[in-house]
Structure 1
Amino acid sequence: MNRTNPGVAIVTGASSGIGQVTAKALQKAGFRVFGTSRRAVSKKTDGITMLACDVTDDASVAKLVDEVLADAGRIDLLVNNAGMGLLGGAEESSTTQAQALFDVNVFGVIRMINAVLPIMRSQGKGRIVNLSSVQGFIPAPYFALYSATKHAVEGYSESLDHELRPFGIRVALVEPAYTRTSFEDNLAKPDRLLEIYDAARAGMTVAVRRAMDKGDAPEVVAETVLAAATDPTPKRRYAAGKIARRVSVLRRFVPGSAFDKSLRKQLGLPA
C-alpha cells in the first residue's frame, strides 16, 4: 500500500454507523472499498461496492472473498467491524445466546481473517484492522459477555500480529469508547430476564444512552482506522477519541482499587 494507490479494502458491517463512515473515509483516501452487510443493499453507494456477507457463515465469507478477488484481483486491507452488543446481567444470558454473540464478534473475525490470509501471504503484504472497544481492556458491568468477546479479539489480534509479521502482514486494534451511533438502540436483550437485575439493567441503559449522546462522532473512529490501516509502522493498539485515550491511560497508571471505585461511582453502582 502507498499513499497514491493504497489498494483494495474490505470493511464488514459497512451499511451503517462506524462501518459506513469508515468505508467512506477509506474510499476518500484512495482505497477501492468493498463494504459488507448481512442483507443485500444497493450494489454501489458513494463509490463503495456493497456486497452481502454473513460473518457467521463460512460459505458466505468464502463467497464474498471470491467476489472481491474476481473483481479487484487482490485484497490489501481487511477491517473487521461487524458486531453486535448485549446489555444485561451475565447470568441472564443462556449459553446459547452467549455462543451466538461470540459467533459474530469473535468467530466472525476469525472467519474473515482465515479467508483473506492466503491471499495476503501470496501478495507478501496486507493489513488487518480489528474493531475492539475500551471494553476490551476494562471491566464493564452488565456488558460481561460483550466485554468477553472484545477481550478475546484483543488477545487473538495481538498473538496473530506476531505470527504474521514474517509474511509482511500486520494486525492492529482500534479501541473506541462511546460513539454517537445507533449502537444502544440495537443492543440485544438477555434471553432469560431476571427480576433481580431489572433496576440495575434499566439504570445502565440510561447511563449508556447519556454516554452515547456525549460520545465521539463516528468520523473520529474512521480516521483512527485509516491511521491504523496506513501507518508505515503500525502500533498494536489505537485508542479512538479523547475518552478512549483517557481511559487507556487511567487503566495503565491508576491503582486498580482507585480505578474500580471511580468506575462504580460513574455508573451509579453501590460501593
Structure 2
Amino acid sequence: MTQTKPVALVTGASSGIGRDAAMALTAAGFQVAGTSRKASGLTERDGFTLLALDVADDASVAAAVEQVIERFGRIDVLVNNAGVGTTGAAEERSIAEDQAVFDINVFGVMRMTKAVLPHMRAQRSGRIINVSSALGFAPAPYQAIYAASKHAVEGYTESLDHEIRGFGVRALLIEPALTNTAFEANTLPPATSMETYAKQRTAHDELLAAGLASGDDPSIVAATIVAAATDRKPKLRYTAGPMARRMSRLRRFAPASAFDQGIRKFNGLPA
C-alpha cells in the first residue's frame, strides 16, 4: 500500500537515540518503521511500527526491508542507528570479539544499505543516514575497536555518497558525542583482561559512565537526524550537540600536538 507520507526505516529503535529518532521523524510527518532484535512480529509502539531485525544477519535484513516495502510501498529514509560499543584495551580483545563488533557497526550498515539502495535508485530519491560518532573522527583510548568501526563508517559513507548522488540518493553522517542513553549496557568488554591495563581501564570505564550520565539528551541527536532527513540541501556531516561540535572544530583547527595532549588529558593518561 503506497502512502502519501514519506517513509523512514530506523534500526535500533527500541531505546535511546533510535527510539527518539523514530518518534521525532513521526512527529515530522514520516511513516516510520523502527527495528529491534527483540521485537516480535509487527507491533505499534510510540506512534511508529516496530519490527524484528538483526543487522548482523543477511536473511533478517532482507526480510525486514521487504516487510517495510510491502507495508508502506517505499523507503525514503534509512537511519542506520543499530550498534554496539566496546571497552578494554585493544590488546585485550580477541580478533573474534573485534569481528563481532564490526559485523554490527560496519557490515550491518552495509547490509542495510545494499538492501534499500535498489528501491531508492528506482524511485530516484532517498537518504541513507548513518549514525557515526565523534569517535569517527577522533581517537578513543580503551574504545579503539568502537572508534575503528566508526572511522570505517565515515569512510564508507563519504565514498558511497559520491557513487549514489547521481541517482538522487544521498549518504549522510550523524556525529554525536557522549549521549545520555543506555549505551553502557550495550557495550562489549573483552572476555579476558590483562593486569597491565587494569588501572587505566577501570579509570576509563568510570569516565565513560560519568560522561554518559551527563551527556546530551538523545532528543538532540534525534533532531539532528530529522534535519538530515529533511534539509533541502543536506550536508555530508551533521555534528549533534555542543560537545561534538567542539571536538570537530578542535580536530580541524587545533595543532596536532595540542589535540593529542587534549585527548590524553581528557582520558587521564600521562602526558
Task: Identify the TM-score tier after normalising by the shorter chain.
Answer: over 0.9
Structure 2 residues without counterparts, runs of 5 or longer: none
| Alignment of structure 1 residues 1-271 onto 2, 5 Å | 7-41=6-40, 43-271=43-271
Task: Quote the Cα distance in structure 2 between the aligned partners of 1:96 and 1:34.
Answer: 32
- Secondary structure of residue in 2 paired with 1:63: helix
RMSD, aligned CA: 1.0
Identical amino acids, percent of aligned pairs: 57
What TM-score does the superposition give when structure 2 sets the normalisation length? 0.97
Task: Quote the Cα distance in structure 1 between the aligned partners of 2:34 and 2:119.
Answer: 18
Q: CA deviation at 1:10?
A: 0.3
Q: CA deviation at 1:143?
A: 0.6
Per mean C-alpha deviation after superposition, the further-off stretch among 236-245 and 190-199 is 190-199
Deviating 4+ runs (over 3 angstroms): none
Q: CA deviation at 1:211?
A: 1.2
- Secondary structure of residue in 2 paired with 1:127: strand
Per mean C-alpha deviation after superposition, the further-off stretch among 68-77 and 40-49 is 40-49
- Cα deviation, 1:110-129, whole Å, max 9, x if unaligned, reads 00000000000000100010
Q: CA deviation at 1:248?
A: 0.3
Question: One-letter code of the match for 2:53?
Answer: C
Per mean C-alpha deviation after superposition, the further-off stretch among 261-270 and 126-135 is 261-270
Task: Quote the Cα distance in structure 1 between the aligned partners of 2:179 and 2:217.
Answer: 6
Q: CA deviation at 1:6?
A: 5.3
- Secondary structure of residue in 1 paired with 2:227: helix
- Secondary structure of residue in 2 paired with 1:239: strand
Alignment length (residue pairs):
267
- Secondary structure of residue in 1 paired with 2:127: strand
Structure 1 residues without counterparts, runs of 5 or longer: none
Q: CA deviation at 1:244?
A: 0.4
- Secondary structure of residue in 2 paired with 1:68: helix
Task: Quote the Cα distance in structure 1 between the aligned partners of 2:39 and 2:207.
Answer: 34
- Secondary structure of residue in 2 paired with 1:142: coil
Task: Quote the Cα distance in structure 2 between the aligned partners of 1:55 and 1:37.
Answer: 9
- Cα deviation, 1:124-164, whole Å, max 9, x if unaligned, reads 10001000000000010011100000000000000000000
- Cα deviation, 1:34-78, whole Å, max 9, x if unaligned, reads 000012247001221000000011100000011111111101000
What TM-score does the superposition give when structure 1 sets the normalisation length? 0.97
